[in-house]
Structure formats: structure tokens, C-alpha cells
Structure 1
Amino acid sequence: MVLDPHRWLELRRFRGLYESGAMSLREISKETGLNRRTVGKYLSTEAPLAPPRRTVNGKPRSRVADEVAPLIDAMLRSEILLKGAVIHERLVAEYGFTGNYQRVKMYLQEARPRVADELGISPGELAGLHRRFEVIPGAQVQVDWGDEGRVLAHVGIPRVYSFHMTLSYSRDPFCCFTTSQDLETFFDCHRRAFVHFGGVPMTAVYDRTKTVVRRHVAPGEAVPLHPEAVAFSGHYDFDIDVLAAYRPTGKGRVERQVLIVRDHVLAGRAFSSIEEMDAASTAWVPLRRAKIHGTHGEVIGHRAVRDHMALRPLPQSPYMVCDRHLRHVGKDCLVAFDANLYSVPARRVRPRQLVEIRATKSQVMLHSTAPDRHGQTLLATHPRAVGRGAVIKDEGHWDGLPRGDNRRVTTGDVPAQPRHREGLGDEARPLMALLNRASAARIEVGRRPLSVYDELTGTRPFTSKSTPENLSRAS
């Protein structure tokens, strides 16, 4: 009898109970509804642990990856630790493979141990191993964050972070401390590090932090970068190298530096400000450069000289990174951002208009999404508010809007005096008085009988009798 894989997985749960003697074959057979011999066959120590594969007409079912299995095995023989995403990418690009990544991944689960056994590598030796690499001077830096916790909680700073950048060739370090990991702070630390090294490397290695990667993607897909990260790297002329998820060994040089800084700079010391922590780090760097590194066997400072000389020059002006957001304009000409309100000129916006906010660490700039007739998009610039609930406004932005301090009321006891415009003659003033209800109500209107109008028009009322005398007069 060949078990369905789902039934096999259900039966496998009882293996531990059977081996420990907690349940017998009869009890497991009754629980699963399977024959006792079938249960004994698949729970015996001699039985294989892998589930049986489905068969069609007694023949093994073919897999999608079987057609490229020799190619995959050849790749594994050349590099046993080659990633499945790389293998799938090469199969698609070079051999026209149409299967998905999961098919290749499932095949690698049994192929990698088999090929490793052919090469004389035990499966246990593969765990924790990674490919070693070396770089030329000025070629690469590695970047990482460290969470230093509540080291300044006694002065009201809830959390402190350490920013690390390490030159891969010499292991020359840079470290500074911040209270935030936001976009502006992240790239401001880059500017400080480039000044510290005296130049810009060719490549920077990152993990998948949200200040570099816009969103996470499946293995094998292109990683979408944050627009500001692309703009910053383009301004300073270096390439961005993003590691695969959960692969800290790809930037082990900077990972090690995080631990070294904690041991040699922070351990056993008390600080009262970020500036004191930065000063302690700066004072430690010459000591670190005087050490002989255990891997390359040279003095870090001597090797760092070659590293610094190979760096690219700094640009003439620094790139100011902005955190960009889209917000709607309220009816009060205020735009909400980061729990604060900022004003925009009333004559250049309309309610519910979408505007772009470009925020730095010290300023908030509001831009329209389309340029005006002069080609300008900037609407307003304000200093960035500290805290929450602040209203940052320019009184000139509200010019032309109705004011609330010039409204008047009256009980009607005192008649309002009409205001005469300059340049109007006396004959026009009665007409202006008609615009005022109180004045119009007091105008005396002459009263005349209707017969007066009959006399003026030469007619008589219909109620009067017609006589030859009246008819002759009417004719």
C-alpha cells in the first residue's frame, strides 16, 4: 500500500510516541484508521523517513526540475554553497528554463546533500559556512546600525543608536551616535563618515534597511531602492550593494566593529550627552588604527593610508537628503505633517490640493506638484517644529482671506448712517440711501388718488357711465 503524502504526514506524528512506547501499533492504527501492518511498515526503524512519491501507472512522477537536474548538479559541484536564487536566475537567462524558483528550491533540498556527499563534504560542515572575499583599496565600505539602548535615559533621551561604517580593505572604522534612524539622520551620518575618511568608496554594502530598500521582494527579484538613496549615491558617485535577507555574514567586517565599539568605547563608562559619546569614539579611533589586524596581519593605520588614497574625491557641495511626503491642504491653508501644522499661501492653493513636503532635520519645504507659470513649485519654507501639536504659520499667507475681527452687530435702535462715497454728487446720495434698509424705510412716499392718473392719461374708470359728452371728450 502506498500512502498519500498527507496521510503519511499525519502518521509521522505518532513516530515518537511509538518509539517511546507510549502508544502501540494497534492504538495508532485505531487512531489513524490505517491497517496495523501499514502503520508498522512506515513507523519501523528500517523504513525511510521521506514520504513516498506519487506514481502514475507504477512509474515515478516526473518533476519540472528533472529536465535541468544535470545542470543544477554541475553548478553545485563547482560551488556547493551556490544560492538557489542564483541557480534559478542562471537557468532562466542561459537555458530558457520556464519553471519557478520553488521547483528549483525543492530539488536543491535533496540535491545539495547528495552532491556534498560526492565531494566528500559532510552535511554538518555546510552549516555556518560562507565564501570569503577580499577587495582592493577604496573599493568597498560596509554600513550598519547598532542599538545601544537606554544609555542616556537618565538625561531624558529614551534610546541611542550607533552608526558604523568600515572600509573593507583596511578595516578602518567610523562610528557616531544618534537618537534616530530616520532617512535624514542615516545619510547625514554618511556625510560625516566620508569627511572622516577623506573620500568616497566605489561601493557601499547594506542590509535591507528601509532607508535603502523601498520594499521587500521575493528571492531572485530585483530589489527596488529608495529614491533618496539613489539620489544620494548618484551625487557622491558610489554604487549600492544590498545583501540578501538574513545574511549578516555578507558584511561581517562592520558587524564585528559594532561589538568592538561596545567593548572598547561604551563598556564601563557613563555619558551625559551624544557629544560625549562621539568624543569617546573619536579618541578611540587612533588606538584602533595602531592595532595589528588578525586577518590581514598589517597595522590598520598603515593599510588605511592605501585605502584613503584610493577613495574618490568628495563633491563640491553636499547632498541634502529630504524626507518626501504628499499631503492635502486644509480649508485653513494649513498642511499637517509629523503631528504639526504648516501654512501655505492662500492665493496659490485651493482646498484639498495635493502638495509635496520635503523635510530635512531643520526645515520643512512645501512644493506644489505642478510648476506655476514661472516654473516654480516652492510654496513655503518653515523651520521644522520640535515636538507635536505646533502650528507654524506665516501671517502673510492668509492675506485676502476674511478676517474675524471686523464683524458688527446692532439692535436696530440706532439708525445706521449711510456712508457717502467720495466724489458722489447730492443727486446720487438718495439712491445710495436706498441700499440701506433702515434709510429706505424712512423715505416719505407721496400718496395720490387714482383719478389723478386717469386725468393724466385721458381715460375714465370703467365704473363711470358712458355719455355722448364723455365719448366726445375721450375721442
Structure 2
Amino acid sequence: MSEKLVELCTKLQLPVTANSWSTVADQAAKNNIPYSAFLERLLEAELADKHLRSSQTLLKLSGFPFRKTLDEFQFEAQPTIDERRIRELMNLSFLESHENVLFLGPPGLGKTHLAISIGMEAISRGFKTYFISANDLVTQLRKADEDNRLERKIRTFMKPRILIIDEMGYLRLNTSSAHYLFQVISRRYERGSIILTSNKSFGEWGEILGDSVIATAILDRLLHHSRIFNLKGESYRLRERRLSSSTNA
């Protein structure tokens, strides 16, 4: 009987039930637990395991350069950030309305940390999330275009529920690269959320994209449904270096 149950569970891809049904059955018998409650326990354990494995897979495919949570963010070091508004993002309501989230500010203020922490929360709830720098994004699209598979590559950037584009503006793009970026943002417009980080103000985008017309078109789509956060203050790295220097002095 037990071998047959294990065989059936294996065929149905129920590994937790296959491994634990006997133990749960013994507990149910000792405590006179109803059959329905016994089955419920097995299914809950199976669902929890499936969710865990799914989250682990999504994390592996996310492209995150590191993993950070919001609890690790030092709000006290960045008093200009509205903590309440940031924490509201964690309910992920912006996904339902396909809103974008933009973090602007100088390097070292935690823009990427915040973007990844939202992505981590999304993955924990089963939403596919993908992280890529703006430069890598256009590089991959250019290579795909050269290989006559641009459309297929663009579709891969349409699949994630959240696309995180990091470091917009750290490197200047030429006009053709800006066109690639526009295609992704345009295709995701009102279809999927983008989280974008940039060290440049919107007024500088024409310069970093090499074309003010494309910059306007990109911003028009990004800003139409968006939540914008302007970060100001001292870089974490510079602050830690300064504190370290004063301690050692």
C-alpha cells in the first residue's frame, strides 16, 4: 500500500506527500484527526514546498547582483526618503495598475538596494522579476539585432511582471542604443511595471540618450503612470569612510 502511494505521489509530482504521508498519518491516528484535516495538512505542506521551490527558481533567474531586503535599508541615514511611501510599495499595488517606480539621485544613496528589495518582495509572492543595467539591456538588444532576433529578445523583456533597469545615465548612449531602450519601455507601457534607477535628473536625459526627441518619448511613457522618489544626501560609502577616518584619527 505504502509503495503504491509513493508511486502515485511521484507520478503526480507531490514529493512532500510522498515523503511525509506516513508520519502525518500516524499523527492523525494518534490524535484522532479527521480524514479531511489529515488531507489538508498534507496539501498545505505540499503547497508550502512548491512555493519555496518556485521562489528559489525565480531568484536564480532574477539577475540580482546581490540580495537586499527593505529591513536592511538604513532610513535613518537617508532622512530625505519618505519611509512610509517606500513601505507602501511593498504591498505591490502598483503592479495591478502597471505603474512604474523611479528612484533618482546621486550614487551611493541606496537606489539599487531599494529596487532590489521591492523585487525580492515580488518574487516572494510569486511574481517574476528581472534585473538588468541600462547598458547591459541595450548591449543585449544590439547583439540580438545583429543576429536577426531582436523581436524575440524584446519579448523576453516583456515576460517579467517587474523589469528593473538599473544605472540609467551612468554611461551615455548613442542614438541607436536609445532606440533599443525606447522599444522595451514602449512595449511595456501600461502592460508591465518598470523600476528604474538613475543618477541623472529628467532634464539631463536628452544628453545621456543622445537624442532629446527619444528622451521625451521615453519619459512620456515612464512618467505617465509612475511613483517618483528623489533621493538626496551623503553617499553610504563616503559616510562610512568619513566615520572610519574620524574613528581612526
Give TM-score, length-normalised by structure 2.
Answer: 0.29
Determine which structure has more spread, i.e. the larger CA radius of gyration. Answer: 1
Give TM-score, length-normalised by structure 1.
Answer: 0.18
Q: Between Structure 1 and Structure 2, which shows a larger proportion of helix residues?
A: 2
Bigger relative contact order (CA 8 A; separation at least 6): 2
